[in-house]
Amino acid sequence: MFSVKSRAAAVSVASNSTLILLKIVAGILTGSISLIAEAVHSTMDLAAAIIAFFSVRISDNPADDEHPFGHGKAENVSGVVEGLLIFVAAGIIIYEAIKKIITGPRLEYVEIGIGMMALSIVVNVIVSRYLLKVAKHTDSVALEADAKHLTTDVLTMIGVLVGLVLARITGLAIFDPITALVVAAMIIKAAYDITKKSFGGLMDTRLPKSEEDTIAAIINEHANKLAGFHEMRTRKAGSHRFVDLHLVLPNKVSLEEAHSMCDHLEDDIKVKLTNVNMTIHVEPCDTTCQTCTVACTFRESI
């Protein structure tokens, strides 16, 4: 049975497949390079959606002997590949648009192209919002990349639609390849953003400061029982967060009490952040410290 993430990725694959076919037919009938460019772009979308579909299924697999930290980075790999595919699509569009400008563009049956782009915009808006909703709920990097990819598509489709409308109103077909170049520029920006975010996960970039601050705040809420913490390190693989830190406890705390405190902190943190894997190294406090606020009977006796 498919997970929520897998179903969302499957919807993306189905919608992209349908739009590719319609855009190719409309592009051939009208002779529009911007429509053909959109068909190429949608082909990249389909490849990206297929990659996202398989990557989220892989990332959902539990940790095993060969992958003790899980399979979350499969989603980061997917995001990087999607970004590279978008760069390729932009290059193809730029090449074809410049060639059209040089040779002179010709358009026919422009109304078909306009109708096709209007339909594509509606479909992509619906699918991208659905994917983004699922991505936020499941914290999926791959689905977020796919959702943002489709959102960018909506902007590029609007550009193509405007270009076709202008060509239809003015009779100047040059608007078509010019629009295609504008689309390519927007695609390159999207590719950069997606690649940068996904590549950060592969390089074990730390969690966002807001999330690290959340972890620190939760630990500091127990300042009356802790002597402090340090050497916190964080990273993220797909939707899985990894945190390790050194927790300083009063010198005479028992092993059972230390274990209970670690479990309590982990539970509190998991309420605020999803898919957190905690590793806590417990250390005894320095009993010579003069600033400790922990109620410690051992300190009172020295």
pTM above 0.85, yes or no: no
CATH number of the domain enclosing 265: 3.30.70.1350
In this structure, are 188 and 220 located in the same domain? no
According to the model, what pLDDT value does residue 174 have? Answer: 84
CATH number of the domain enclosing 160: 1.20.1510.10
Is 256 strand, coil or helix? Answer: helix
Query: Which residues, including other chains, have CB under 8 Å from residue 54's CB and lie 6 or more apart?
Result: 78
According to the model, what pLDDT value does residue 189 have? Answer: 80
According to the model, what pLDDT value does residue 302 have? Answer: 37
In this structure, are 195 and 220 located in the same domain? no
Query: Between 115 and 1, whose confidence is greater?
Result: 115
In this structure, are 243 and 109 located in the same domain? no
Domain end position, chosen among 170, 202, 234 = 202
Query: Which residues, including other chains, have CB under 8 Å from residue 222's CB and lie 6 or more apart?
Result: 261, 264, 265
Is residue 249's pLDDT more than 60? Answer: yes
3-state secondary structure 49-112: HHHHHHHHHHHCCCCCCCCCCCCCHHHHHHHHHHHHHHHHHHHHHHHHHHHHHHHCCCCCCHHH
126-178 residue pLDDT tens? 888 888 888 888 877 667 777 877 777 787 788 788 888 888 888 888 888 88
Domain end position, chosen among 182, 202, 222 = 202
* Residue with tokens 């995001």, as numbered in its chain: 79
Query: Between 34 and 276, whose confidence is greater?
Result: 276
In this structure, are 256 and 169 located in the same domain? no
In this structure, are 240 and 123 located in the same domain? no
Q: Are 191 and 83 in contact (CB under 8 A)?
A: yes
Give percent of the chain above pLDDT 70. Answer: 79
82-94 residue pLDDT tens? 777 778 877 877 8
User: How confident is the model over 227-243, as a mean pLDDT?
Assistant: 82
In this structure, are 232 and 125 located in the same domain? no
Is residue 277's pLDDT more than 50? Answer: yes
According to the model, what pLDDT value does residue 246 have? Answer: 92
48-76 residue pLDDT tens? 667 766 666 666 666 666 655 665 666 66
CA atoms of 170 and 287, how far apart (whole Å): 83
Number of domains in the chain: 2
Is residue 251's pLDDT more than 80? Answer: no
Q: Which domain holds residue 130?
A: 4-202
In this structure, are 287 and 190 located in the same domain? no
According to the model, what pLDDT value does residue 298 have? Answer: 43
According to the model, what pLDDT value does residue 215 have? Answer: 92
pLDDT bin (cut points 50, 70, 90) of residue 214 is very high
DSSP state of 206: P
Is residue 253's pLDDT more than 70? Answer: yes
Domain end position, chosen among 183, 202, 221 = 202
pLDDT bin (cut points 50, 70, 90) of residue 23 is confident
Give percent of the chain above pLDDT 90. Answer: 4
In this structure, are 214 and 194 located in the same domain? no
In this structure, are 174 and 216 located in the same domain? no
In this structure, are 182 and 154 located in the same domain? yes
